[in-house]
Amino acid sequence: MASIATTCSSGLILRRKESTTNAGSIFRLNIFAASKSRPIKAMASAPKRETDPKKRVVITGMGVVSVFGNDVDTFYDKLLEGQSGITLIDRFDSSTFTTRFAGQIRDFSSVGYIDGKNDRRLDDCWRYCLVAGKKALEDANLGPEILKSMDKTKIGVLVGSGMGGLSAFSTGVESLIQKGFKKISPFFIPYSITNMGSALLAIDTGLMGPNYSISTACATANYCFFSAANHIRRGDADIMVAGGTEAAINATGVGGFIACRALSQRNDEPHRASRPWDQNRDGFVIGEGSGVLIMESLEHATKRGANILGEYLGGGITCDAHHMTDPRKDGLGVSSCITKCLEDAGVSPEEVNYVNCHATSTLAGDLAEVNAIKKVFKDTSEIKMNGTKSMIGHGLGAAGGLEAIACIKAINTGWLHPTINQDNLEPLVDIDTVPNVKKQHEVNVAISNSFGFGGHNSVVAFAPFKP
């Protein structure tokens, strides 16, 4: 979603100071009251990068359900090709809708991951979660036989959703109105509520560690990564299955976002509708799917001989406290979130050379994010940024999960996927957006931005794993 704004109702002004030590550039963020000259102490200086193997968090598995299928390599290959997954909607009759296209998943298969009886009952949101979650566990060599020998009380699940089981909810309300409460399915409440993805995945796999769901609209998945990492750092868990899932491409979801005036209406060219930073953008394109990571302490991963795909360095979360949907043009809330992320990660701005942007293709949101990036990164000449949503649409609560996978694949392959539909770039966007064609790029530190309605901001940082 497009909200990446922030203000403080009391008129507080955020100012950033830099100092340099042997560890590199360190941040301090001071808050000054507009009506007072005395500064109020706020964030401490950034710590050095974590070295304790019990607290270092690595990525050992990934699982995806996307418009390009359920295989991580295929998903990223399609992104590298610059292929659009945006098509006309055929899941419901959208002929009277002002937006009639989406990043709709077709030919989804859960064979081997969900039994037939449950598969018929489940909302797609939970089907996507179960498949992505179990594929991530497989990728981490944590299949059912391996899990039997492990302490499952130290393995948790934290997969969030912005909307939850929207189809189950819509069907239940329809039954109530048309047939009365006695015709409501007994699965109406369980399959509607947002925590059910984490719950069902734990029930199927026996994972008994920390288990809940976070719902912060389109910032959801990054919030889940941030919290999951903190569970590992505190010793609550050795492994966390974390990410986001969403399935809101139905009449209720699409109709609701049309009412918000948030969606593109480029019905004659759906594949060209999602165009971050392009002057002719006219709104975001709704998408769906699930992206899940296996996050694990380095100590635990090393002991079991896991294949390490990358390292989670840190994250930041903030609230805009400004508006439900509108962004603040200067992106101040987002810049403070990026700063918090870098502090948590022990990273200086100079180390970051790749940003996977929120970049929804909305008029105000795209520029606000760029303004925020420029506030933090004074020299952007070495930075490349791209917009995954240009090809798969906006996965809402799943977006951060899908984009985290794109970040880690970029780290491992040395290739950045393009931002497609870059025909007429905004003049203010003078950072390399990887326009239309993939680029080779050795990623040093990547950050991934996600922002949501309500002013929820989340940023996470990943890097190649170095022992």
**Residue 239, phi then psi, degrees to nearest 5:** -135, 140
For 155, half-sphere exposure in the C-beta direction (CA atoms, 13 angstrom radius) is 22
CA distances from 24 to 45, 117, 346, 378, 459 (A): 12, 57, 10, 15, 21
Q: How far apart are CA 133 and CA 155, in angstroms?
A: 13
Q: Which residues are catalytic?
A: 218, 358, 394
Q: How far apart are CA 376 and CA 454, in angstroms?
A: 23
Q: How far apart are CA 357 and CA 371, in angstroms?
A: 12
Instruction: Answer whether 173's CB lies under 8 Å from 179's CB.
Output: no
Minimal CA–CA distance to 84: which of 96, 61, 102, 99? 102
Minimal CA–CA distance to 33: which of 24, 42, 25? 42
Q: How far apart are CA 229 and CA 152, in angstroms?
A: 17
Q: How far apart are CA 321 and CA 242, in angstroms?
A: 27
**Residue 361 zone, left/alpha/beta (φ > 0; ψ -120 to 50; rest):** left
Instruction: Answer whether 214's CB lies under 8 Å from 156's CB.
Output: no
Residues 6+ apart with CB under 8 A from 55: 232, 233, 297
- In DSSP terms, which residues pair with 419 in a beta bridge? 435
Query: Which tokens belong to 223?
Result: 């919030």
Q: How far apart are CA 299 and CA 304, in angstroms?
A: 9
